[in-house]
Chains A and B, each alone.
Chain A
Amino acid sequence: MALTSPASVDAFLESPQAICALTHDRIDVQAVIASVQDDAAGATATFIGTTRNSFKGKIVTRLEYQAYSKIAIKTMADIANTAIESASCSQHQPSTVSGKVPSVIRCAIHHRLGTVPVGEPSIVIAVSSPHRKEAFVACEEILEEVKRKAQIWKREYYEGEDENEAEWKENA
């Protein structure tokens, strides 16, 4: 197993519109979805990233994640807030509404740390909004930004290979 940094700890940061979590526990997908529910939401978009059993023909036995948690949780919150702010106004809004109904109501980003066995979720993102387009757009934007910027690292272990040689991956 890779050296575990004492900085790679569970973390939680919540604001009225964004819930971000780093956890060593199995992610409760239904709880993450429930955390963004709102009576004003007509749509909830969800992304679940799971450990895949192969990479370029090699059999993956498990993934390990570590994070610089104090900075990663801030990065995740910034990503969530940016996605909320940049959500465009839906064309469904009547012209009399002065913009009080947000295009994205709430988002949740949960990322797992430690060992994630094949088939289990490593990241779950849920976004609620009045209408579907904003939810889909925000969900994808959050995922791509987390992959680009969050201070989280993944190590992939392959069947039949020396664990000490396992590679730390780099997102393109």
Chain B
Amino acid sequence: MSKPENTINVLYFAAASTAVGKTFESFPIPQDGLKLSELGELLISRHANTDLRKVLSTSQWSVDLEMIDNPELVLLKGGEEIAVICPVSGG
């Protein structure tokens, strides 16, 4: 059975995955959408008693492989792949 189209996929890496104890999760969002700027609180409520709030405070978002400069401008409708991009350390 395919996922309903109002499901979003959230990817966690590095400190974010250590904080929540997983690398991804999927869940439905409201039919009329969810603001990206509200996603943080929603994820924190799904992972109470973790360090996720602290990790998110220094992290950026990506949506469908694009880094987001201004989360206030993004409305999620369902089907998106969102990632928590905590401070990077490659190279």
The minimal Cβ–Cβ distance linking A74 to chain B, given in whole angstroms, is 7
Q: List 11 A-B contacts (CB under 8 A).
A: A5-B12, A49-B91, A65-B90, A147-B90, A147-B91, A153-B15, A153-B86, A153-B90, A168-B15, A171-B90, A171-B91
**B45 at the binding interface (Cβ < 8 Å):** no
Across the A-B interface, give the 7 residue pairs with the lowest CB-CB distance, nearest first: A152-B90, A153-B14, A147-B91, A170-B87, A169-B89, A154-B89, A5-B23
Chain B residues proximal to chain A, CB less than 8 Å:
11-15, 17-18, 21-24, 58, 62, 65, 67, 83, 85-91
Whether A68 and B22, one on each chain, are in contact in the complex, defined by CB atoms closer than 8 angstroms, is no
CB-CB under 8 A from A154, the residues of chain B are 89-90
Q: How far is the CA of A152 from the CA of B15 in the complex (A)?
A: 12
Total number of A-B contacts with CB less than 8 angstroms? 94
Chain A residues proximal to chain B, CB less than 8 Å:
2-8, 49, 65-68, 70-72, 74, 111, 122-123, 143, 146-155, 168-171
The minimal Cβ–Cβ distance linking A168 to chain B, given in whole angstroms, is 4
The secondary-structure label for the interface of chain A is: mixed
Whether B65 and A74, one on each chain, are in contact in the complex, defined by CB atoms closer than 8 angstroms, is yes
Q: How far is the CA of A7 from the CA of B82 in the complex (A)?
A: 12
Add 15 more A-B contacts to A68-B11, A123-B90, A170-B89 (CB < 8 A): A2-B17, A4-B23, A6-B23, A7-B13, A7-B24, A71-B62, A74-B65, A151-B88, A152-B89, A152-B90, A152-B91, A155-B14, A168-B14, A169-B89, A170-B88
Whether A151 and B11, one on each chain, are in contact in the complex, defined by CB atoms closer than 8 angstroms, is no
Q: How far is the CA of A13 from the CA of B88 in the complex (A)?
A: 21
CB-CB under 8 A from A146, the residues of chain B are 90-91
The minimal Cβ–Cβ distance linking A170 to chain B, given in whole angstroms, is 4
Q: How far is the CA of A169 from the CA of B90 in the complex (A)?
A: 9
A63 and chain B: residue at smallest CB distance: B89
Query: Known contacts A123-B90, A155-B14: does B62 contact A68 (CB below 8 Å)?
Result: yes
A125 and chain B: residue at smallest CB distance: B91
The minimal Cβ–Cβ distance linking A165 to chain B, given in whole angstroms, is 10
Whether B23 and A171, one on each chain, are in contact in the complex, defined by CB atoms closer than 8 angstroms, is no
Q: How far is the CA of A146 from the CA of B88 in the complex (A)?
A: 9
Whether A70 and B65, one on each chain, are in contact in the complex, defined by CB atoms closer than 8 angstroms, is yes
Q: How far is the CA of A5 from the CA of B88 in the complex (A)?
A: 15
